[in-house]
Structure 1
Amino acid sequence: MSEHGVHDEAPGEAREARLAAYDTVEEAVRKQLSKALGGPRGVVEAAIPTIGFTVSWIVSHQLRASLIIGAGLAVVLLAVRLVQRSTVQFVLNSVFGIVIAAFFALRSGKAADAFLPGIIYNAGYAAAMLLSIVVRWPVVGFLIGSVTGDPTAWHRDRDIVRLCSRLTWLLLIPCLVRVAVQYPLYLAGHVGWLGAAKVVMGWPLQVAALAAMVWLLARGRTPMETATGASES
């Protein structure tokens, strides 16, 4: 009991409450993926600074001014979130991204280098997800663990591991496509095409991947008890 006379929620009770919110593993993964990706608004907010930077560069060819415009748009989005008292996590990701992009571009003096961190990030993310699939610990599985309160119980069920591997592939493929398209454009120094590719391969590609995930998740009805390891008792 707390000092105010109110019973504190025990860890076991909190875990049961999380599990009660989902009937199936597929439902839990679907909801957790939506949270992790920030929903439609989070995806749009990630694209706006890139659009501002690219359009400014195409019009003016002024690197510093273009970076200031991109960063300014990110700060405006952050201010809107703060005024609305909504989560700033995804806008902060955008702010952080534009700061890293500015560091790379200003250090070399080349506008194309503003896109290099994103290419490196996608390549690294794809490699990490591929490794997780190869060793049969797909990263999507840990979304289930965040719901059940046991980060590894889901791994005992082969069907869940197989499902999570397929979902991880659907997250991995957009990263590979981005690298395959954007890296040659980066080597050629095509800033305008790089900006367009980053925007087009941002939320549209992510939405396509999410649609494929929703379709896959809609086909299964795995009870949440399976992911908790209760079935092994």
Structure 2
Amino acid sequence: MSDLVMMRRAGLHVAETAAPVLGFTALFATTGRLPLSLAAGICLAALVALYRLRQARSVWPAAGGFALTAGAAAIAALSGQAADFFLPVLVARATVVALTPPLLVFGLPPAGLAAAVLTGRGLTWRRCPVRVRAYATANLAWFVVEGALVANQVRLYLAERAVAMGAFKLFVEVPAHLAMAALMWVIYRRLISRPCDGPDCTYHLRSV
């Protein structure tokens, strides 16, 4: 898989994960009925999973996305708090944000780790100093934006403002994530166009 295809899939993933949130937020904002809203979110998550399978993509993202939404709905149903629908994803995102600085220090930017999985190339990019710097720089830009987004969602979650969390995700986070995917791609492409002086880098100019 090329890096460009990977970035396109990242953008598609952002749009797909927004669908259950849209269904949940719209119904809860208009009806105030938590069970009905949770059911809408689960139904849309199931439709997204089926769409992913019909596109001949791996079963794991489809099953994982549905399981995450179903788990979030179960937590919200048990607690009776609509804001808990957003809790699992919020915890996961906050964890990634917290782990990003130490990973960058050790030369393992999360963007590079994700690329290793999505492209099937493994960690061979670590042999290329240019790619290491490109992933780290792009990841640093992501870290600043994602940290601000997560901090705001934590504030809304503590205030139990479920509708505001959903609206913020749909109208602020989704555009921000799409813009960040494009920005990270531009940063990455500009940086890897530079000459590579890594003695063990055997693929830098061949795979860009």
Q: TM-score, normalised by structure 1?
A: 0.72
- What are structure 2's unaligned runs of at least 5 residues? 204-208
Q: Deviations over 1:73-96 (max 9, x none)?
A: 2222333444x4532554434312
3-state SS of 2:25 partner:
helix
- What are structure 1's unaligned runs of at least 5 residues? 1-17, 19-27
Q: After TM superposition, give the deviation of residue 163 of structure 1 in Å.
A: 1.4
Q: 1:43 aligns with which of 3, 7, 14?
A: 14
Aligned equivalent of 2:72: 101
1:86 lines up with 2:60 in the alignment: no
Are the equivalent residues in 2 in contact too, given 1:154–1:227 (CA < 8 A)? no
Aligned equivalent of 2:24: 53
- 29 and 222 in structure 1: CA distance in 2 versus 1, 3 angstrom threshold: farther
Q: Which protein has the larger Cα radius of gyration, Structure 1 or Structure 2? A: 1
* In 1, Cα distance between equivalents of 2:197 and 2:114: 15
Aligned equivalent of 2:8: 34
1:130 lines up with 2:104 in the alignment: no
| Aligned pairs (5 A) from 1:214-233 | 214-220=185-191, 221-222=193-194, 229-230=201-202
- 142 and 187 in structure 1: CA distance in 2 versus 1, 3 angstrom threshold: closer
- Paired letter, 2:15: V
1:192 lines up with 2:163 in the alignment: yes
3-state SS of 1:129 partner:
helix
Are the equivalent residues in 2 in contact too, given 1:126–1:176 (CA < 8 A)? yes
- Paired letter, 1:32: M
- Paired letter, 1:133: L
**Taking every aligned residue pair, what percent have the same amino acid on both sides?**
26
* In 2, Cα distance between equivalents of 1:124 and 1:149: 25
Q: After TM superposition, give the deviation of residue 200 of structure 1 in Å.
A: 2.5
Say how many residue pairs are matched: 200
- Paired letter, 1:199: L
* In 1, Cα distance between equivalents of 2:144 and 2:176: 10
- Paired letter, 2:37: S
Aligned equivalent of 1:175: 146
Q: 1:159 aligns with which of 119, 130, 155?
A: 130
* In 2, Cα distance between equivalents of 1:160 and 1:81: 30
- Paired letter, 2:201: G
Q: CA RMSD in A?
A: 2.9
